[in-house]
Amino acid sequence: MLPHFFRLIGSDRFLTMAQAEQVLEPHPLLPVAWAAYREHFQGFTGASLDPLFHRLSHPATRVAALELEPDATVVVVGTGPSLRPNIAGLKRLQGRVRIITSPRGAEALLPHGIVPDVVLVEHQTALDAHHSARHLGDCARNVLTACPLVAADWRTPSVLLAGVSDQSLFVPAPLPTWGLWPATAVALAVDAGVSRIALLGVDLGSAHAPDPAHAPLAALLALLARLAPIVALECGAGGATKRGWVKASIDEAAGAAVTGRCGLRSGPAASMDERRRDAFARLDRHAPVVERARALLALATAAANGSSSAVTVLEEGALEMMGWRDDGDVRLFAQEGLGLSFLPRMWRLGLDVSLGSSLWRPLMLATHELVRQADALALATSTARAA
């Protein structure tokens, strides 16, 4: 199992490492994880943001954790250049490995007769999810319905999961994520108890030219190799070097024989009605914050339109808004309830009060997003309110 702090840091539960240390048990790699979080994610992964409230219409009826054979090998398959020359080798390993991949990975594997054990549906942003849904909609076949297990996080659009049976679909719980699906797949495999994990097609550039855009994922994979008691194999020849992952051929990934579906430790998921009622109750509980944000938005709007509001009034409003970060319940409501991105980042990066009369700009941006999202959530939970 991964240390508890891995999931909590990735879900943006803490503003500072000192705050994390107050809550979590001591661990020698906590500073290493926090350094990766600060350097590569600027202290905010956004992995818990659901700005379109897809969780309210997600069709899953169960949550579950994978349970895999301890002596099994899991191969996490991406769609990088190293996949194609290793397709035949991967096919030879059927029955000797468990395969976890993405929807696009499944799309690449299925024509070769390779059925992944688990398809993990996770997107870094709502826009990524939108593009994925459009892409799968253009496919000749629904690849997700051809796979035995589909693990889809709560932020997945329901349209992307159309046709997936209740027997196949589940929401990983807990979801050890920092928002980047290959690392999440590795983390799920670790928590499932396997001893060997291999990467294929997760290239992140080349050995001579690592792609800077994938530096966060490379850092996260390196962190997982240190945190987990596993043999970590990199089977994508020519891909960027990943610290802690040993270069190997695909044949070397073979593990003990495996049969049938992956095991699951599952329980019932909250129904759509229950999720909507919970979201409405949360919104209702934080109504004073929403209404205060509405008043601050009016203040900022007036200042933007040339009102002669005193600078001290803007400063007081901005400092009040920044002070909400000290209330953990409000912070999680903003992030996980409303899916805000601007204000949580501002809480972490700070606000320059010396902006004076220009403080209306960040004040307007932050409060406008909060009010807009609160109003959208109120509309999305209107059936719960009526009940």
What does the pLDDT look like over 214-263, one tens digit per residue? 999 999 999 999 999 999 999 999 999 999 999 999 999 999 999 999 99
Q: Are residues 298 and 348 in the same domain?
A: yes
Check residue 214 and give its pLDDT: 96
Same-domain pairing of 260 and 275: no
Is the pLDDT at 138 greater than 70? The verdict is no
Whether 12 is covered by a domain: the verdict is no
**Statement: residue 353 has pLDDT above 90:** no
Contact 9, 33 (CB under 8 A): yes
* Residue whose C-alpha is closest to residue 226's, from 187, 172, 169, 271: 187
The verdict on residue 27 lying in a domain is no
Q: pLDDT tens for residues 168-202?
A: 999 999 999 999 999 999 999 999 999 999 999 99
Chain segment 270-311, per-residue pLDDT in tens:
999 999 999 999 999 999 999 999 999 999 999 988 776 678
How many C-beta atoms lie closer than 10 Å to residue 359's C-beta? 25
pLDDT of residue 126: 84
**Is the distance from CB of 185 to CB of 230 less than 8 angstroms?**
no
299 in Cβ contact with 363 (< 8 Å)? yes
Is 80 exceeded by the pLDDT of residue 129?
yes
Q: Per the domain annotation, does 7 fall within a domain?
A: no
Q: What is d(CA 15, CA 27) in angstroms, rounded to the nearest whole number?
A: 18
Average pLDDT, the chain: 94
Domain count of the chain? 2
Same domain, 206 and 276: no
What local confidence, expressed as pLDDT, does residue 181 receive?
A: 97
Cα dihedral 213/217/223/226 (nearest 10):
-110
Extract the tokens encoding 111.
């024509």
Residue 44 has pLDDT above 60, yes or no: yes
Q: Coil, helix or strand for 47?
A: coil
Residue 236 and residue 281 in one domain: no
- pLDDT, one tens digit per residue, over 67-126 is 999 899 999 999 999 999 999 999 999 999 999 999 999 999 999 999 999 999 999 888
Rounded mean pLDDT, 49-64: 97
What pLDDT, on the 0 to 100 scale, is given for residue 49? 97
Each residue of 143-153: b (16+ CB within 10 Å) or e? bbeebebbbbb
**Domain edge (last residue) among 245, 268, 291:** 268
Which of these three, 222, 253, 268, is where a domain ends? Answer: 268
| 335 shares a domain with 209 | no
Share of the chain above pLDDT 70, in %: 97
Using the predicted structure, report yes or no on whether residue 387 has a pLDDT greater than 90: no
Residue 205 in any domain: the answer is yes
Could you tell me if 158 and 289 lie in one domain?
Answer: no
User: Looking at the domain assignment, is residue 28 inside a domain?
Assistant: no
pLDDT at 163 > cutoff 60:
yes
Tell me: do 314 and 216 sit in the same domain.
no
Least confident of 75-89, 104-118, 135-149, 351-365: 135-149
Q: State the pTM of this model.
A: 0.94
Domain that residue 195 falls in: 54-268
